[in-house]
Amino acid sequence: MNAIDPPTTARVELSASEAADAPVEIRERTILGLTPESWARILMPLLIGVLALGAWEWAVRANEVPSYILPGPLEIGRTLIRDWHSLQISLWITLQITFAALFVAAALGLALAVLFAQSRIIEMSLFPYAVILQVTPIVAIAPLIIIWVDDVRIALLICAWIVAFFPILSNTTLGLNSADHNLTDLFRLYRASRWQVLMRLRLPTAMPYFLGGLKISGGLALIGAIVAEFVAGTGGRASGLAYRILEAGFQLQIPRMFAALVLISVTGIAIFLAMTLVSHMALRHWHESAMKERR
């Protein structure tokens, strides 16, 4: 603004310094679409893994360890390929139970959290039972559930759900109650309805918390499904990866046991990565956790 003359036209403009103060994403040099740091993050653990597997293979061969005690990674890999047909059926069953449990946990956890957020009385009355459900070891109640529920698949689903739903419920409840005070006042100033406050303020605020819960619950659903399968010990066609491990143990087919174990681990990692990706996609525009470095 000119220091001598008063402003002659009433116009509001952004000053250059204000615009220059805006945070800018730091653009890093990329190699094939990834920054050097991202590559290091992927390649370094891979290198450690390859080295460890190499050492394992060498130790097994050098000491001539029989495969029913400890098979080498190469033999586990061969078994995985040879038994892929039967293992893949079991993997599919375990995956079905895991994802069904995760889906129900997410839907019910979210719905219950919204219910809790509507009324302190409901939250106070019901939350302790959610905690009791959470702290009771699933191995202890799985046999009961399997006795009570005729359909084994449903029983397994219930077990996995019990383990998976608590993080979603407690995280989302926390998130729904974390709305910014000033924003809450703003909604009150414009006389927003309960529904508007829920949809436009509380649910968006709870989103990162819900996704954080989902990330934890993804792994827990898998663990719940596996534990329940162990307890149920169902034989025949409709059995998951846990039963493959039990079965292989009884038959002393240790490489097959390891192969099933590898599949479980890979599934767990895949679920975690998938949930991380979902979280990143949902939050990348606004949440600190999904932000690139800025100045």
Partner 1 sequence: MDGSMMTTVTAGPPVVTLEGVGKRYANGTLAVQGVELAIGQGDFVSLLGPSGCGKSTVLRMIAGLMAPTTGRIDMAAGGQATGDIGFVFQEPTLMPWSNALKNVMLPLRLAGVNRGEAADRAAAALAEVGLKGFEKSYPRALSGGMKMRVSIARALVTRPRLLLMDEPFAALDEITRHKLNNDLLTLWQAERFTAIFVTHSVFESVYLSRRIVVMAARPGRVVEDIEVNEPYPRGEVFRTSAEYAAHCREVSQALHAAMGEHA
User: Which of 114, 183, 216, 261 is in the footprint of partner 1 by CB under 8 A?
Assistant: 183
Element (H, E) at 186: helix 181-189
The continuous run of DSSP H or E covering 84 comes out as: helix 84-118
Residue 182 binds partner 1, judged by CB under 8 A = yes
**Per-residue contact track with partner 1, 7 to 46, x per CB under 8 A?**
xxxxxxxxx-xxxxxxxx----------------------
Q: Is residue 191 within the footprint of partner 1 (CB under 8 A)?
A: yes
The residues, ordered by sequence, that sit 6+ positions from 158 with a Cβ below 8 Å of its Cβ are 145, 149
d(CA 201, CA 222): 32
CB of 121 to partner 1, least distance (A): 21
φ/ψ of 101, rounded to 5, equals -65, -40
What phi and psi values does residue 237 have, to the nearest 5 degrees?
A: -70, -45
Whose Cβ is closer to partner 1: residue 1's or residue 32's?
1
Task: Name which of 251 and 289 has its Cβ closer to partner 1.
Answer: 289
How many other C-beta atoms can be found within 10 angstroms of the C-beta atom of residue 137? 9
The CA–CA distances, whole Å, from 226 to 68, 143, 217, 247, 275 equal 23, 14, 14, 14, 19
* Residues 266-285 within binding reach of partner 1 (CB under 8 A): 285
Is-contact 69 246, C-beta < 8 A? no
Decide if residue 104 touches partner 1 (CB under 8 A). Answer: no
Does position 195 bind partner 1 by CB under 8 A?
no
Quote the least distance from Cβ 141 to partner 1, whole Å.
39
Minimum CB separation of residue 195 from partner 1 in Å reads: 11
Q: Which of 49, 54, 204, 249 binds partner 1 (CB under 8 A)?
A: 204
Instruction: Give residues in contact with partner 1 (CB under 8 A).
Output: 1-15, 17-24, 180, 182-183, 185-192, 196, 200-201, 204, 207, 285-287, 291, 294
